[in-house]
Amino acid sequence: MGTLAPTPRVETLSCSKIQSIPKEYVRPKEELSSIGDVFEEEKKEGPQVPTIDLTEIDSEDELVRAKCLEKLKRAAEEWGVMNLVNHGIPSDLLNRLKKAGETFFALPIEEKEKYANDQVAGMIQGYGSKLANNASGQLEWEDYFFHLIFPEDKRDLSIWPKTPADYTEVTSEYAKGLRVLATKILEALSVGLGLEGGRLEKEVGGMEELLLQLKINYYPICPQPELALGVEAHTDVSSLTFLVHNMVPGLQLFHEGQWITAKCVPDSIFMHIGDTIEILSNGKYKSILHRGLVNKEKVRISWAVFCEPPKEKIILQPLPELVTETEPALFPPRTFAQHIHHKLFRKDKEANLPN
């Protein structure tokens, strides 16, 4: 049995000055009508992703604090995403994080290949491009670098980029800051459900078991952006996802039946509610469908940190306090690993369905 032919790096295709993209990157016909020019899409008026000012959550004024908690709860219920400002992570650290990732991706491809992952062998950490995991053999216009960044004792620093020299230091500092932020958000979301503040964090593994995985997404310039996607429509399996980017638009959210382009908010951290929290909240908090557009003018880079529960140790199911006769459990009990498998299996089946 032959091995899979390696997928070319998307950066290689982009730099080769091709005029038309290979057919594996062209989206299905029924999807194409919804793919517009991202810069035009960003200018459109209409519903906007809520912005939450986290200084208010620590206010000594109980009314200010309660109002902020209510805003955060409503954003989680109605959107499943929000821009976090005054989140406690210094803008200087965010700039250093972005500089480190940009420097790594500016290396020649053969240098980056030294960090290549091997998805077929199950080694998912490292430098990669998406393998086709559906029947149509569809690919996304993206390369990436993926690795676990917290807890510190679970990291494999041998696969972290050596260039730039401060990559490990900056990324580790960011991971620590995000871990504190994750606790703060999980506490607020717990209170919003009428639970004790520490409940959701405990349910996703607590300080010892909650994993933070960083994926730096690199979306090269695309000669036919109206035909491709940087990342196809999906929901995140995580509990929370924290995202920063290089201020090039591309993220779209499927809100109330239409694709909305997220506007770039300086110094903010964009946060998604993932499937895990949607399940625990019995659907009260939403894990929103989203995707990434590409463009022919500017490279887009984003840094997504997925906060994930341990794969086997915890059973994910709606919390008993949130299940009643009138609001029965919307999700069956599954481990995190089973949930991921179920999603991939379902996606594979859907790819085999006739249009």
* 175 within some domain: yes
* 3 within some domain: no
The most distant pair of C-alpha atoms in the chain lies apart, rounded to whole Å, by: 67
* 68 within some domain: yes
pLDDT score of 60 more than 60:
yes
* 25 within some domain: yes
Q: What percent of the chain has pLDDT above 70?
A: 94
What is the average per-residue pLDDT within 56-69? 95
pLDDT score of 355 more than 50:
no
Sorting pLDDT into bands at 50, 70 and 90, what band is 69? very high
Write out pLDDT tens, residues 263-317. 999 999 999 999 999 999 999 999 999 999 999 999 999 999 999 999 999 999 9
Catalytic residue numbers? 215, 234, 236, 290
pLDDT score of 73 more than 80:
yes
The pLDDT assigned to 6 comes to: 60
pTM of the predicted protein model: 0.95
pLDDT score of 213 more than 60:
yes
* 111 within some domain: yes
Burial of residue 112 (number of CB atoms within 10 Å: 0-12, 13-18, 19+)? buried
Write out pLDDT tens, residues 229-270. 999 999 999 999 999 999 999 999 999 999 999 999 999 999
* 2 within some domain: no
pLDDT score of 347 more than 70:
no
Q: Which domain holds residue 64?
A: 10-352
Number of domains in the chain: 1
Contacts 24+ apart (CB under 8 A), 249-252: 249/38, 249/39, 249/41, 249/42, 249/293, 249/300, 250/38, 250/219, 250/292, 250/293, 250/294, 250/295, 250/300, 250/302, 251/290, 251/291, 251/292, 251/302, 252/41, 252/290, 252/291, 252/292, 252/293
* 5 within some domain: no
* CATH number of the domain to which 246 belongs: 2.60.120.330
The pLDDT assigned to 2 comes to: 39
Question: For residue 355, what is the DSSP state?
Answer: -
* 172 within some domain: yes
